Amino acid sequence: MAVPPTSASPAPDARHRLLAAGAELFSSFRPEDVLPGVRSVCRAAGLPTGSFYNCFGNATAYHRDLIRWLGANDETAAVSDDTSATLVDLAGQVPELAPTGAQLMSAMATAAGADAERMIVDAGASARAQYLLSALAEDEGSVGADIREHYGALYEHLAANQLAGTQALLDAVGARIRPPFTAEGIGLLISALTDGFVLRAKIDPSLDVVTLVEDATRALIVGLVCHPDDDRDLDDLAAATLDAAAVRGLAERRSA
């Protein structure tokens, strides 16, 4: 799926606002505000909580690095057209990053016994369109309207696929989501992790993206969900996320 082209490039002041919105979104994100209680839950599941926080913290730090790498930070009052246009282009034109995202979504689909095609988003997509839309969700001006007009359908497709895939994985292991989190929220967090690592890999090719994403995703799933009847099932869930056979076996035992 190709990202729909815009009818016209945003004006310089619009580009500046778009870049500033992205910079604010990434720089203000704090894992400790979004994931309360994950440390204790992961510890109960026997997971290395330090690794989890390092993975999640690094993903957001990589986004901040990218913003600064493109020339925007808190001290930057003006951004060149070329720099801001580069960030806009990140909304979907990075096809070389597709295999990592597709591999992750395919693995989740297989583990959940779901249709992989339903969950794999085409090369032109990724979470970058979501970040742009999220940053401008409350923007009543022309920039937000323009982005929503051209990327709205793509965003809806991404959100629906992530939600379906995440929910399928949770259903397969008979788990419920720990309040106040939602399946959609977990899907977006997984997407954020994936996006952070693959973008960083463009700067640091030595980064083992697949391993980092798998570890962080495992920690997210195990840390944010538990069986409705018995928290000790977190141990089973931790093991189940390691391979598809274990997930299917756990699902079969619970359905028996």
Contact call for residues 127 and 187 (beta carbons, < 8 A): no
What does pTM read for this prediction? 0.28
Give the per-residue pLDDT at 49. 37
Distances (CA, A) of 217 to 56, 213, 223, 242: 10, 6, 10, 10
Nearest to 188 by CA among 247, 134, 239: 134
Give the per-residue pLDDT at 108. 39
What are the residue boundaries of the structural domains of the chain, listed by start?
A: 12-255
Give the per-residue pLDDT at 3. 28
Contact call for residues 165 and 108 (beta carbons, < 8 A): yes
Cα gap 22→27, rounded to integer Å: 8
Both tokens assigned to 93: 């034109």
pLDDT digits (tens, 9 = 90+) for 196-206: 444 444 445 56
Q: Which residues of the chain have pLDDT under 50?
A: 1-159, 169, 172-173, 179-181, 192-203, 213-216, 218-220, 222-256
Give the per-residue pLDDT at 106. 43
**H-helix or E-strand spanning residue 195:** helix 183-203
pLDDT digits (tens, 9 = 90+) for 115-161: 433 333 322 233 333 443 343 343 434 434 444 444 444 444 444 55
Give the per-residue pLDDT at 152. 46
